[in-house]
């Protein structure tokens, strides 16, 4: 025996191992395939041997070959053999091979079930680990069903190494076997609070992955995740959770409100870019889900945009890319705030990195306005010319079209320009997007009536020069344009100067080389042109011209009759016969023009995409219902006649139905028209749209002048540039005229709605070049407003859309191993055989207990919830439900309702209540209540103020119970204490209650903070302000002032003025005197607030400053209007010159070592707030960022707008905080420290 082993190992010495194989392949570059095939032969020999070591070696080599792309599925059985080896080394090789080669179709997988189960329950943790890793790659529905219970047991394994793997693999199990989700979920939830951070992170990972697809089922976990978010220090986990909240907030706006404060704090305090970026992303998601308008939110948007700008300006391309990516999300809802960064985005267009250019292009979409569209498109056209590589150029092309056509051509003032841009785009080499240009041409020509004349002229030129487009066979993408050109020329042929010439161009023999569908359009439109030509020559005494045209058609059309394309052939022969007939009539001198024109009379209206889908099914029409009772089975022997019969009946019923409803339809149409008329956003069809195209209305539209000024082709200069120049001239002229008019007007009227500094003209001022009415696309009557779901029906995640709050039913337990071989049983069968054998029941006993626990938990919670309300009825209900507990499975469904509502109300409560400091904290540190932020609103919210706290509770109870009992305040307080007590008791008992009310958080969340401080206030108006610097300009700060109208009247004509000092000056528009006031660019209806920004230039920033100023405004109520005035003092603190700038610790260390900085220090006594609050506060109020934090010591950094470095080292030890600071400007530092001291003395 021993000899055998030794012999075996000696054999092995000379076998090739993996390294030899790799080396061999590298040495046989010329005949690699041959070498590998001999290797595979060797491997096959090795696999036939009994020695497991040889087999393992062979499998190891096979794995490598598989990675090279060779098919090794033939060795699947050997892989299973190696997997079942008792040695870890071989087992690992086997599992690795399996994870590479096995997939759902591999049939040997079903043989592995028992082996895997054995490995999972192996006493060696690494065997289990390897099995879990392997299984995660090839788990199939059968494996998932059979092993789910074993894996679930592993989730409570003693070793965290196994626990985390088991938790993570559950996700794959859920995907394959969705029935397992509900039974396993309670345990998964438990793992969120596992003591091992790895396990915790795995659980967070799985739940985030699940929640991403079906967020609504996981809303109830929000409080738990919120707690995790505030307590976790692991950035991976934080990022996951923050991403999860991003997915949850669209479903629950209140959650968003709750999130925004902690997130902004994180943004201010974190030094990890990845975390910062995800926070910004989630804040954006929150803002998108909330209706905007609240002042706080505009501040958060500003914060996000500002942070993103820092990212985009960073020299690191990755940050730049991500910044642009996030910016495009803001763009969708808050285009205004992004537009101010246009410069930056245009700059990114020139970046050498294509990924970044593409992202910047996405953003451009939202940057355009009527004013700058032409300019931006011109820039893009330049890029098109320069671009290398067709993909980027195609991307540019689509973007240009997207930008121009967005929201119904909203920004296009001159359609002639647009048409010429489109024509220019057709000159692109090798683009794939010919059809896109074509559809734009068609769309514009059809919907913008005024442009038709111009469009037709351009298209005629295109047709004439068709050889340029089709000359190169590679460019066949672009010849789609000819499709549009031919159609436009044909359909609107009355605008053609010389239809005969165009007709001739359309019938050239070269056309036959075009794709079939284009030829078909050519033929059809040649007929339209023919009609036009005939009509033109109508009435002329000499019918020579008309007859020549007919002859031309008769000569040329046979070419198309021979076409291989059926459509072309059919149309051509049809038209050919028609023309021949007409020729005969012409020879008899019969007037035919009218009849021929009648063939093509009538306007074609554009139809909205999806219009067909949206035709509603008329009421009372049930297409599935039988109209006649189906004949019984015995009567109808064959199926076919039946089917035909029912089909016919359906048709019948529909027509009948419409007859009946004719009146009803008319009524609805009327109602819809009414609605459209009232809807300001609905672009109305011009009344003439229903008429035939020779209606006189079209000629009145002034198009002609510009036609004259721009010759159709300017050699060298692209046409669109000409338009750009023209447009500028026109705008100048307009502006001049307007100014003249304005001067005549009284001064008072000037400020209305517009800034006094009318340097750049505002949107509304740009008059379109010519009156354009855009025809709306037609929709069917009563179109259904909802869009169809475009969800993929095959998405595996759909099956996981399961309500997790319902208590488990008995039937839902996981299948447990039985001694019967049931490997091949399908899940469906499984469900049928719910009468589980005895032994199964025994084994699942543990699980049942688990479930019971869960149920009890829910009940406890619901009890608690109801106790709070002391509602007699509820108690009765509870009493009733007591016996239910004894009755097991049947009753569960009925019992399901109360716990879920309790769960929901738990969430409601958590979302409604303000963050109340925990009771324990109140006892130990009574001052903590006072430690809340100074800003009034925030303080109000977070103080454990009795009536405030009671309010949400009331609203909540009113939601659930119709009756609301009024109670004494004291009683309530008692109750509240009780509740606290109860909770503590509860969590002491083992932290079973995972969904907590938010009142007992381990770590107090950061109090909400706001940088806005009061500027001035009277009975009409309240002003709060914040001062921020920016990196771009070292001598400017921006003061954001929020004006809030407190009165019941309308506030208008607000003018803002300050007395400039030598050092600080308000930036006024050019031409304004140094004492002129600035008009606030909005009016305030009652109760509304809005934000305005004022730029100040400062020279020295080392000292704080105060500027006196006044706000004047007109209060307009129903009968009277009065002038009011409010004085204020703007306080420029030194802090406001600091800008949060991230700093890496190595750079920080260098800075400190350099010795250029002068030091100073500060001691604060009696600070009782937690250290991270302290830091957050310094970060938030004083624009610092944390460089490093070690226990109770942190280094912080900030920079002033003029580039002074400010470094802080903050240390804390029982209630004393010492701050050592260094800065290259001592007086600035002194002032900043004073300000920090003041901040903390306030609390």
Partner 1 sequence: MRSVSNRSTVDLAPWAVPSRFAWKSCGDVKSRVITGCLCCRAVNVQMVQSQAPWPCTNVVTNFRCRQKSTKYRSLQTEDTEQQIIRETFHLVSKRDENVCNFLEGGLLIGGSENKLIYRHYATLYFVFCVDSSESELGILDLIQVFVETLDKCFENVCELDLIFHMDKVHNILAEMVMGGMVLETNMSEISTQAEAHSKMEKSEAGIAGAPARAVSAVKNMNLPEMPKNINIGDISIKVPNLSSFK
In this chain, which of 47, 96, 911, 1021 binds partner 1, going by CB under 8 A? 96
Minimal distance in Å, beta carbon 240 to partner 1? 8
The residues near 644 (Cβ < 8 Å, ≥ 6 apart) are none
Stretch binding partner 1 (CB under 8 A), from 2-10, 186-194, 977-985, 1055-1063: 2-10
Binding mask 58-77 for partner 1 (x = CB under 8 A): --x--xx-xxxxxx------
672 has which bridge partners?
A: none
Please report whether residue 375 would count as binding partner 1 according to CB under 8 A. Answer: no
Q: Which of 537, 603, 560, 551 is nearest to 582 (CA)?
A: 551
Please report whether residue 1171 would count as binding partner 1 according to CB under 8 A. Answer: no
Closer of 207 and 507 to partner 1 (Cβ): 207
Closer of 209 and 1017 to partner 1 (Cβ): 209
Minimal distance in Å, beta carbon 27 to partner 1? 6
Rounded Cα distance, 386 and 381, in Å: 9
For the segment 110-129, give every residue that binds partner 1 (CB under 8 A): 126, 129
Please report whether residue 435 would count as binding partner 1 according to CB under 8 A. Answer: no
Please report whether residue 38 would count as binding partner 1 according to CB under 8 A. Answer: no
In this chain, which of 155, 208, 222, 481 binds partner 1, going by CB under 8 A? 208
Closer of 615 and 1149 to partner 1 (Cβ): 1149
Closer of 53 and 1023 to partner 1 (Cβ): 53
Binding mask 234-263 for partner 1 (x = CB under 8 A): xxx--x---x--------------------
Minimal distance in Å, beta carbon 183 to partner 1? 20
Please report whether residue 1193 would count as binding partner 1 according to CB under 8 A. Answer: no
What are the angstrom distances between the C-alpha of 1011 and each of 296, 1177, 1178? 10, 10, 11
Closer of 98 and 459 to partner 1 (Cβ): 98
Please report whether residue 274 would count as binding partner 1 according to CB under 8 A. Answer: yes
Query: SS3 for 1098?
Result: strand
Closer of 1119 and 1191 to partner 1 (Cβ): 1191
Please report whether residue 103 would count as binding partner 1 according to CB under 8 A. Answer: yes
Minimal distance in Å, beta carbon 362 to partner 1? 11
Minimal distance in Å, beta carbon 431 to partner 1? 17
Judge contact between 582 and 596, C-beta under 8 A.
yes
1211 has which bridge partners?
A: 1193, 1218
Rounded Cα distance, 517 and 482, in Å: 11
Rounded Cα distance, 55 and 89, in Å: 12
Rounded Cα distance, 821 and 825, in Å: 9
For the segment 461-490, give every residue that binds partner 1 (CB under 8 A): none
Closer of 362 and 954 to partner 1 (Cβ): 362
The residues near 826 (Cβ < 8 Å, ≥ 6 apart) are none
Query: SS3 for 1161?
Result: strand
Stretch binding partner 1 (CB under 8 A), from 84-92, 416-424, 864-872, 880-888: 84-92
Please report whether residue 1072 would count as binding partner 1 according to CB under 8 A. Answer: no
For the segment 1146-1165, give every residue that binds partner 1 (CB under 8 A): 1146, 1149
Stretch binding partner 1 (CB under 8 A), from 90-98, 652-660, 664-672, 1081-1089: 90-98
Stretch binding partner 1 (CB under 8 A), from 250-258, 319-327, 431-439, 995-1003: 319-327
Number of residues located near partner 1, criterion CB under 8 A = 97
Please report whether residue 9 would count as binding partner 1 according to CB under 8 A. Answer: yes
Closer of 239 and 1176 to partner 1 (Cβ): 239
Rounded Cα distance, 384 and 715, in Å: 19
Query: SS3 for 972?
Result: helix
Closer of 1134 and 1143 to partner 1 (Cβ): 1143
Minimal distance in Å, beta carbon 178 to partner 1? 13
Rounded Cα distance, 1122 and 1117, in Å: 9
Following DSSP, what letter does each residue of 899-941 receive, concatenated?
HHHHHHHHHHHHHHS--PPPHHHHHH-GGGGTTS-SSHHHHHH
Minimal distance in Å, beta carbon 19 to partner 1? 5
Judge contact between 191 and 224, C-beta under 8 A.
no
Other beta carbons within 10 Å of 1218: 15
Following DSSP, what letter does each residue of 1079-1094 receive, concatenated?
EPS--B-TT-EEEEEE
Please report whether residue 394 would count as binding partner 1 according to CB under 8 A. Answer: no
Minimal distance in Å, beta carbon 129 to partner 1? 8
Stretch binding partner 1 (CB under 8 A), from 147-155, 233-241, 365-373, 765-773: 233-241
Crossing angle of helices 415-425/434-447, nearest 10°?
Answer: 160
Q: Which of 468, 693, 494, 716 is nearest to 601 (CA)?
A: 693
Binding mask 128-167 for partner 1 (x = CB under 8 A): -x--xx--xxxx---------------------x--xx--
For the segment 853-912, give every residue that binds partner 1 (CB under 8 A): none
In this chain, which of 122, 205, 333, 339 binds partner 1, going by CB under 8 A? 205
b/e map 918-943, b = 16+ CB within 10 Å = bbeeeeeeeebbebbbebeebbebbb
Rounded Cα distance, 1022 and 1089, in Å: 9
Minimal distance in Å, beta carbon 190 to partner 1? 19
Following DSSP, what letter does each residue of 731-785 receive, concatenated?
HHHHHHHHHHHHHHS-GGGTTTTS-S--SSPPGGGPPPSS---BPPPB--TT---
For 1199, list phi and psi in degrees, rounded to 5.
-135, 145
Query: SS3 for 1064?
Result: strand
In this chain, which of 672, 738, 797, 1046 binds partner 1, going by CB under 8 A? 797
Please report whether residue 3 would count as binding partner 1 according to CB under 8 A. Answer: no
Following DSSP, what letter does each residue of 68-113 receive, concatenated?
TT---GGGHHHHHHHHT-SSHHHHHHHHHHHHHH--TT-TTHHHHH
Please report whether residue 10 would count as binding partner 1 according to CB under 8 A. Answer: yes
Please report whether residue 1 would count as binding partner 1 according to CB under 8 A. Answer: no
Minimal distance in Å, beta carbon 276 to partner 1? 9
Closer of 706 and 1179 to partner 1 (Cβ): 1179
For the segment 1105-1144, give every residue that binds partner 1 (CB under 8 A): 1144
Closer of 358 and 1243 to partner 1 (Cβ): 358
Stretch binding partner 1 (CB under 8 A), from 315-323, 461-469, 1196-1204, 1209-1217: 315-323
Minimal distance in Å, beta carbon 155 to partner 1? 14
Q: Which ranges of 270-389 does DSSP label H, i.e. alpha helix?
A: 273-289, 295-313, 317-333, 335-339, 342-349, 354-367, 373-386
Please report whether residue 332 would count as binding partner 1 according to CB under 8 A. Answer: no
Please report whether residue 18 would count as binding partner 1 according to CB under 8 A. Answer: yes
For the segment 673-692, give every residue that binds partner 1 (CB under 8 A): none
For the segment 334-363, give every residue that binds partner 1 (CB under 8 A): 352-356, 358
Minimal distance in Å, beta carbon 504 to partner 1? 44
In this chain, which of 233, 407, 632, 924 binds partner 1, going by CB under 8 A? 233
In this chain, which of 157, 212, 691, 767 binds partner 1, going by CB under 8 A? 212
The residues near 148 (Cβ < 8 Å, ≥ 6 apart) are 173, 177, 180, 184, 814, 815
């Amino acid at each position: 025996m021993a000899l055998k082993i030794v012999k075996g190992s000696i054999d092995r010495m000379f076998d090739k191992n993996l390294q030899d194989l790799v080396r061999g392949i590298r040495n046989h570059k010329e005949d690699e395939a041959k070498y590998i095939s001999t290797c595979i032969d060797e491997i096959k020999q090795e696999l036939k041997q009994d020695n497991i070591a040889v087999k393992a070696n062979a499998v190891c080599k096979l794995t490598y070959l598989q990675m090279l792309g060779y098919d090794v599925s033939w060795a699947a059985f050997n892989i299973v053999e190696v997997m079942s080896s008792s040695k870890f080394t071989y087992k690992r090789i086997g599992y690795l091979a399996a994870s590479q080669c096995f997939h759902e179709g591999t049939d040997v997988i079903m043989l592995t079930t028992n082996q895997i189960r054995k490995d999972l329950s192996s006493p060696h943790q690494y065997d289990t680990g390897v099995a879990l890793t392997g299984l995660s790659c090839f788990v199939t529905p059968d494996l998932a069903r059979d092993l789910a219970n074993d894996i679930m047991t592993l989730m409570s394994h003693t070793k965290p190494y196994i626990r985390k793997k088991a938790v993570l693999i559950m996700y794959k199990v859920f995907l394959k076997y969705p029935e397992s989700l509900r039974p396993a979920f309670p345990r998964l939830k438990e793992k969120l609070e596992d003591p091992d951070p790895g396990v915790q992170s795995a659980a967070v990972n799985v739940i985030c992955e699940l929640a991403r697809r079906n967020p609504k089922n996981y809303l109830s976990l929000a409080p738990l995740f919120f707690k995790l978010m505030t307590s976790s220090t692991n950035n991976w986990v934080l990022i996951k959770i923050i991403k999860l909240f991003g997915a949850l907030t669209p479903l629950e706006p209140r959650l968003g409100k709750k999130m925004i404060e902690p997130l902004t704090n994180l943004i201010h305090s974190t030094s990890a870019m990845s975390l910062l970026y995800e926070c910004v992303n989630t804040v954006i998601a929150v803002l998108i889900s909330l209706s905007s308008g609240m002042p706080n939110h505009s501040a958060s948007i500003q914060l996000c945009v500002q942070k993103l700008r820092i990212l985009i300006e960073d020299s690191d391309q990755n940050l730049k890319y991500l910044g642009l990516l996030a910016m495009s999300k803001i763009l969708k809802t808050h285009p205004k705030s992004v537009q101010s960064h246009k410069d930056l985005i245009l700059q990114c267009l020139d970046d050498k990195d294509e990924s970044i250019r593409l992202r910047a292009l996405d953003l451009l979409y939202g940057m355009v306005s009527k004013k700058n569209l032409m300019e931006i498109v011109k820039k893009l056209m330049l890029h098109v010319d320069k671009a290398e590589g067709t993909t980027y150029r195609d991307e540019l092309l689509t973007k240009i079209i997207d930008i121009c056509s967005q929201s119904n051509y909203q920004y296009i003032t001159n359609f002639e320009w647009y048409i010429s841009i489109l024509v220019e785009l057709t000159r692109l080499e090798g683009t794939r997007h010919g059809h896109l240009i074509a559809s734009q041409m068609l769309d514009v020509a059809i919907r913008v009536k005024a442009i038709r004349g111009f469009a037709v002229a351009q298209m005629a030129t295109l047709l004439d020069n068709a050889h340029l487009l089709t000359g190169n066979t590679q460019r066949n993408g672009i010849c789609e344009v000819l499709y549009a050109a031919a159609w436009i020329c044909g359909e609107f042929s009355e605008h053609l100067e010389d239809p005969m010439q165009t007709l001739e161009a359309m019938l050239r023999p070269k056309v036959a080389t075009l794709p079939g569908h284009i030829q078909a359009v050519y033929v059809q439109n040649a007929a339209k042109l023919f009609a036009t030509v005939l009509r033109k020559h109508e009435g002329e005494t000499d019918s020579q011209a008309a007859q020549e045209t007919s002859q031309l058609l008769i000569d040329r059309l046979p070419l198309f009759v021979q076409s291989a394309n059926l459509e072309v052939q059919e149309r051509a022969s049809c038209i050919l016969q028609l023309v021949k007939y007409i020729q005969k009539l012409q020879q008899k001198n019969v007037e035919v023009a009218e009849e021929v024109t009648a063939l093509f009379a009538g306007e074609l209206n554009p139809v909205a995409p999806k219009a067909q889908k949206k035709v509603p099914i008329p009421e009372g029409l049930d297409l599935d219902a039988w109209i006649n009772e189906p004949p019984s089975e015995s009567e109808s022997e064959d199926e076919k006649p039946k089917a035909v019969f029912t089909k016919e009946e359906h048709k019948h019923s529909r027509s009948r139905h419409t007859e009946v409803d004719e009146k009803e339809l008319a009524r609805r149409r009327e109602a819809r028209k009414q609605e459209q008329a009232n809807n300001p956003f609905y672009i109305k069809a011009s009344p003439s749209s229903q008429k035939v195209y020779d209606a006189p209305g079209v000629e009145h539209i002034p198009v002609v002048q510009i036609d004259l000024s721009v010759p159709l082709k300017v050699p060298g200069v692209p046409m669109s540039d000409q338009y750009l120049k023209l447009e500028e001239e026109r705008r100048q002229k307009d502006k001049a005229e307007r100014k003249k008019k304005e001067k005549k007007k009284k001064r008072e009227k000037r400020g209305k709605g517009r800034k006094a500094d009318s340097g750049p003209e505002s949107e509304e001022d740009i008059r379109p070049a010519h009156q354009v009415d855009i025809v709306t696309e037609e929709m069917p009557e009563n179109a259904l407003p909802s869009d169809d779901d475009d969800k993929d029906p095959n998405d595996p995640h759909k099956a996981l859309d399961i309500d997790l709050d319902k208590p488990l039913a008995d039937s839902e337990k996981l299948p447990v191993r039985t001694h019967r071989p049931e490997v091949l049983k399908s899940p469906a069968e499984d469900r049928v055989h719910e009468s589980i054998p005895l032994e199964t029941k025994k084994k699942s006993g543990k699980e049942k207990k688990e479930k019971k626990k869960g149920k009890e938990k829910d009940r406890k919670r619901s009890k608690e919830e109801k106790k709070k309300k002391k509602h007699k009825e509820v108690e009765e209900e509870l009493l009733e439900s007591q016996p239910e507990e004894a009755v097991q499975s049947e009753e569960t469904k009925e019992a399901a309702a109360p716990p879920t509502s309790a769960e929901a109300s738990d969430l409601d409560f958590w979302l409604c209540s303000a963050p109340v400091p925990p009771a324990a904290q109140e006892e130990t540190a009574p001052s903590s209540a006072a430690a809340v932020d100074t800003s009034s609103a925030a303080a109000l919210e977070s103080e454990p103020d009795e009536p405030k706290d009671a309010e949400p509770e009331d609203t909540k109870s009113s939601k659930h119970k119709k009756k609301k009992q009024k109670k004494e305040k004291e009683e309530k307080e008692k109750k509240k204490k009780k509740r606290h007590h109860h909770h503590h008791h509860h969590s002491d008992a083992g932290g079973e209650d995972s969904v907590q009310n938010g009142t007992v958080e381990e770590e107090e969340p950061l109090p909400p903070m706001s940088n806005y401080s009061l500027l001035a206030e009277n009975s009409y108006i309240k002003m709060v302000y914040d001062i921020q610097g920016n990196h771009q300009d070292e001598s400017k700060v921006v003061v954001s002032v929020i004006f809030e109208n407190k009165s019941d009247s309308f506030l208008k004509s607000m003018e803002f003025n300050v007395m400039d000092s030598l050092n600080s000056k308000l930036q006024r528009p050019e031409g304004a005197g140094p004492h002129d006031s600035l008009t606030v660019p909005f009016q305030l209806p009652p109760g509304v607030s809005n934000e305005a920004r004022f730029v100040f230039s400062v020279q020295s920033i080392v000292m704080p400053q105060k500027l006196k100023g006044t706000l004047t405004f007109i209060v307009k109520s129903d009968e009277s209007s009065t002038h009011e005035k409010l004085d204020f003092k703007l306080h420029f603190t030194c802090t406001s010159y600091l800008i949060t700038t991230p700093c890496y610790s190595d750079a920080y260390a260098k800075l400190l070592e350099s010795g250029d900085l002068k030091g100073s220090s500060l001691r604060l006594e009696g600070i009782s707030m937690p250290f991270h609050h302290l830091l957050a506060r310094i970060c938030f109020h004083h624009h610092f960022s944390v460089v490093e934090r070690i226990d109770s010591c942190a280094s912080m950094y900030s920079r002033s707008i003029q580039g002074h470095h400010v470094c802080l080292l903050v240390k804390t030890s029982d209630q004393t905080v010492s701050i050592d600071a260094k800065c290259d400007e001592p007086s600035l530092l002194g002032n900043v420290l004073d300000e920090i001291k003041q901040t903390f003395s306030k609390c």
